[in-house]
Chain A
């Protein structure tokens, strides 16, 4: 296993290097550069524009710039952004990454979870009305035009009904006097989530080890989850942060809901297909012949074996969730990595663009690795193929 991980890590580094180089040269190949926007401003004479280019190193050849850039990367310095000169690129990414992560990661997990349950259920009742409705719904969600759907949701819930806020991730009036920045609060939220997840995993592993089965194994994890959340809430309250955390969560609701809603379709269909495929297997027929309860068949035989493609897909999309999504970020005024990447690329801000590509690329590749490992864990048949 460790050798395999080592291999993959090496491959990741090589890939990353190729990726960065490609991205850098593609960005440089775009017509114009960062100073192009000044072209339509009569106050900026060509001499002034040339001076500006010299400051950003844009007047040197592409290779020279590239080498300089590589040297910085190797020492861990992502450079300084052009558009927010001279703010370090890492500073900008550090500010936007937690926001992106909280929204997209949660949306992915929740939508997969719901999609998985619904898909399982839908496959079991294949052909019935409920199944047809779910499948049709999923297809329309997949093929629906996301910007329109998102805007409709915004209009209905924020404007028309007024239940949820129209913009942003914080309420200005509340945060005007906040003791700390939103970036820090996002950090705390992530921290709390990570701790809770780790706890849950630990508990599940312990239960599995101890061989506890039946009703107890079903109830203990939710109880642990509840306790963890309660203690998190108490801790926040003690430090006076609770109201700020709640504010962020309140603003999270609408984009989270829309994102989750859109993605349920694909995970539902995926699960349903996987379950149906497994249903054809001989051992399922055997289990039915033995007279096992449908619930048992569903959960122990079908779901467990069908979970493989779902988990793979989940791992991949979790890796993607660090890249954000431009439409979501724009419509819900949730500035994240996706928008940063796009604006930097189009605006010729090479350091920021490549920096953002690197960070998102790393997470994407890690997602791939996670997917491969999960595959191996779940399907013993494929364990040897890890040495691919």
Chain B
């Protein structure tokens, strides 16, 4: 025994010495603060790694700047900021540098790789092995406790919040295509509403409640908690809304309930139906009786009936609040004048009083307009923490905090409210090509284009190393609409058959080469909360021939007949389609010649292409149809007068699917397809009456199922929204959201300028 153990010992010694002779044994790095494995990234104290690499570290606690340089490389980082510069090139970090127990922790892999070292992690031994040229080092990573993780998480959130206020500022330049219509927010919420006016004015004001990007959760903005329950008091229904006590206007005046009361009551006094636009949409004078201040920070709404989501949460509560001391004289003068609305709208608000964190800058007519950061605003100290369910809002300066009722799970995303830039300059380019050339040249940081960029521009910008391309879904759709009052469009099977032969996927992929995204639902898939993914899609997954056969079956089962039935016959190389002729309805009537109205090729080549192919597909069913390209205003007029057979058109939508009742309820004035279905009507009425968002969702799902079955609209596609920005100049906190960056008007309130 002793001999064998001696042999083993000798062998070990030999092994050890040979290993030693072979070269470097990994240096064991030690540090007071051990490395941490945080959500898949290993963090280690920066000095430990840098010293071993042979690089120098400079840390400035005042600004949080952390610079590591040596071995011919430079890395610039900042505490709480998840982007860094390696040799002048921007890099995104999964976890930002953070101070933990007195040490500055940074992601090891990132730092080591920046200097040319390789990193390997041995999971079983929990050792990180660093290797550069001939040297090796090992770092032991102890198991991380849940407490440490939680501590780190809090530390990172705090660091991020703090980092926000360190931001350098700078000017964020955006290219736009038109100038605003007015500098007056009352006008902008009325007839002057355009994307550009909104870009100019909306960042300056706030509402009581809003939808928080990127998840678009419903949350309080100027309110301080959820709206109180609707209770009945005699004839009226009331609700109490608490307000934030820590907000103030840009001129220092405190925000109080008086402002809220003033806003609603003044609009009521002028008459929302006179003001038009969003005022008229959101404030219904038959619903809202009055708004009262219970104290300085609580208001009470008095309504004539129990409101549904559309009128309450997504209507009345999302109205821009005006500062009373600034607007009261204006409204007074307006009400005394002959035409109050005109006087109100004509008011030149050159020095506005704002609360949204921005304040109007210079508007050089025809050339540019700008908004400046309000330095007195507390908004940069605020952050929104999205949990798996619900959210938390915290302001480190004022101590305000809010938490959703249904809060559950851990934090999945954090958004810092800005502004973090000093100035936002919007430059007007009347030509899209010039705007994108400017982006390439660096004259602007981002182009605000509600239609997204076309394929050619994308091809041009893709190759540019400093331009990042972002793709999102638009909230809207293009469709083929039927006039459900006319024969034969009033026969459900007819519509279903056409829906079946519409091979949008093939068209999108082959002819249009991926420029569009084919969809089949009236609530686009991008609107994740409201979209019903299980609703029926006619002809899903079928090829041209299977679709035709399925459509023929649908028609046959409904009693249609042909003089020559369409069929799919085997032919050389596969199959061929024999077009049908002379379709007759179930009552034996010959289907008359039908017309599809579509935009001209010059106006919208995509819809035009769809129209041509639709004509082809419908013809194979034996229907005598022809496409009539027409001017767009003619299409609008025909839609309004319900004078068409089939029409190809499109809509842009809001987040809340108010179009489900508007377009399809039989009594709705905007129901331009004459669609009547009593079952749908009752489902939609329940949807409107629902006061809880999840209940409304169930009804919305049911509504979509009915529409998918009845197909008053064959939804065709949605344009994806492709945008570009200069990744060497700006950083957005998120770029994946419905309607893209342009939906939030370039996100001036949350963008950072890179240094």
A contact set with B: CB distance below 8 Å = 30-32, 36, 39-48, 51-52, 55, 80, 83-87, 95-96, 99, 151, 154-155, 158-159, 162, 166-170, 172-173, 175-178, 181-183, 329-335, 339
Contacts of B652 in A (CB 8 A): 40-41
Closest chain-A Cβ to B662's Cβ sits at a distance in Å of 5
Chain B: residues with Cβ within 8 Å of the partner, total of 57
Contacts of A170 in B (CB 8 A): 364, 367-368
Q: Complex formed: what's the CA distance from A266 to B274 in Å?
A: 54
Whether the pair A335, B370 counts as a contact (CB closer than 8 A) is no
Q: Complex formed: what's the CA distance from A175 to B443 in Å?
A: 16
Whether the pair A40, B649 counts as a contact (CB closer than 8 A) is yes
Could you give 30 example pairs across A and B, Cβ below 8 Å? A30-B633, A31-B634, A32-B634, A32-B637, A42-B670, A43-B654, A45-B281, A47-B273, A84-B182, A87-B346, A95-B365, A96-B366, A159-B437, A166-B441, A167-B434, A168-B367, A168-B428, A168-B429, A169-B367, A170-B368, A172-B173, A175-B364, A175-B367, A175-B368, A176-B425, A181-B365, A183-B365, A329-B430, A333-B429, A333-B431
Q: Name which of A43, A182, A331, A333 has the most chain B CB atoms within 10 A of its CB.
A: A43
Whether the pair B427, A172 counts as a contact (CB closer than 8 A) is yes
Contacts of B187 in A (CB 8 A): 85
Contacts of A331 in B (CB 8 A): 430-431, 434
Closest chain-A Cβ to B182's Cβ sits at a distance in Å of 7
Q: Complex formed: what's the CA distance from A334 to B341 in Å?
A: 32
Interface mask (B659-683 → A, CB under 8 Å = 1, otherwise 0)? 1001100000110000000000000
Contacts of A42 in B (CB 8 A): 651, 653-654, 658-659, 662-663, 670
On whether A154 and B274 interact (CB within 8 A), knowing A42-B659, A84-B182, A181-B364, the answer reads no
Q: Main SS of the interface on chain B?
A: mixed
Contacts of A154 in B (CB 8 A): 434, 437
Q: Name which of B366, B429, B639 has the most chain A CB atoms within 10 A of its CB.
A: B366
Whether the pair A84, B181 counts as a contact (CB closer than 8 A) is yes
Closest partner residue, chain B, to A48 (CB atom): B280
Q: Complex formed: what's the CA distance from A178 to B368 in Å?
A: 13
Whether the pair A166, B346 counts as a contact (CB closer than 8 A) is no
Q: Complex formed: what's the CA distance from A81 to B393 in Å?
A: 44
Q: Name which of A55, A162, A331, A339 has the most chain B CB atoms within 10 A of its CB.
A: A55
Whether the pair B345, A52 counts as a contact (CB closer than 8 A) is no
Q: Complex formed: what's the CA distance from A159 to B181 in Å?
A: 30
Q: Does B296 contact A (CB under 8 A)?
A: no
Contacts of B341 in A (CB 8 A): 55
Q: Complex formed: what's the CA distance from A175 to B370 in Å?
A: 11
Closest chain-B Cβ to A269's Cβ sits at a distance in Å of 30
Whether the pair A159, B441 counts as a contact (CB closer than 8 A) is yes
Q: Name which of B273, B274, B362, B633 has the most chain A CB atoms within 10 A of its CB.
A: B633
Whether the pair B367, A182 counts as a contact (CB closer than 8 A) is yes
Q: Complex formed: what's the CA distance from A219 to B158 in Å?
A: 77
On whether A32 and B636 interact (CB within 8 A), knowing A42-B651, A159-B441, A172-B427, the answer reads yes
Contacts of A176 in B (CB 8 A): 361-362, 370, 425
Q: Complex formed: what's the CA distance from A12 to B274 in Å?
A: 41
Q: Complex formed: what's the CA distance from A276 to B361 in Å?
A: 59
Contacts of A85 in B (CB 8 A): 181, 187, 191-192, 342, 345
Q: Complex formed: what's the CA distance from A176 to B182 in Å?
A: 18
Closest chain-A Cβ to B428's Cβ sits at a distance in Å of 6
Closest chain-B Cβ to A89's Cβ sits at a distance in Å of 13
Closest chain-B Cβ to A68's Cβ sits at a distance in Å of 15
Whether the pair A31, B651 counts as a contact (CB closer than 8 A) is no
Partner of A52, one of B191, B361, B443, B649: B191
Contacts of A36 in B (CB 8 A): 633, 636-637
Closest partner residue, chain B, to A32 (CB atom): B633
Q: Name which of A40, A99, A169 has the most chain B CB atoms within 10 A of its CB.
A: A40
Whether the pair A86, B640 counts as a contact (CB closer than 8 A) is no
Whether the pair A172, B437 counts as a contact (CB closer than 8 A) is no
Partner of B431, one of A86, A95, A178, A330: A330
Contacts of A155 in B (CB 8 A): 437
Closest chain-B Cβ to A85's Cβ sits at a distance in Å of 5
Contacts of A99 in B (CB 8 A): 366
Q: Complex formed: what's the CA distance from A45 to B370 in Å?
A: 33
Closest chain-B Cβ to A270's Cβ sits at a distance in Å of 31
Partner of B440, one of A51, A159, A168, A181: A159
Closest chain-B Cβ to A27's Cβ sits at a distance in Å of 12
Q: Name which of B364, B367, B437, B650 has the most chain A CB atoms within 10 A of its CB.
A: B367
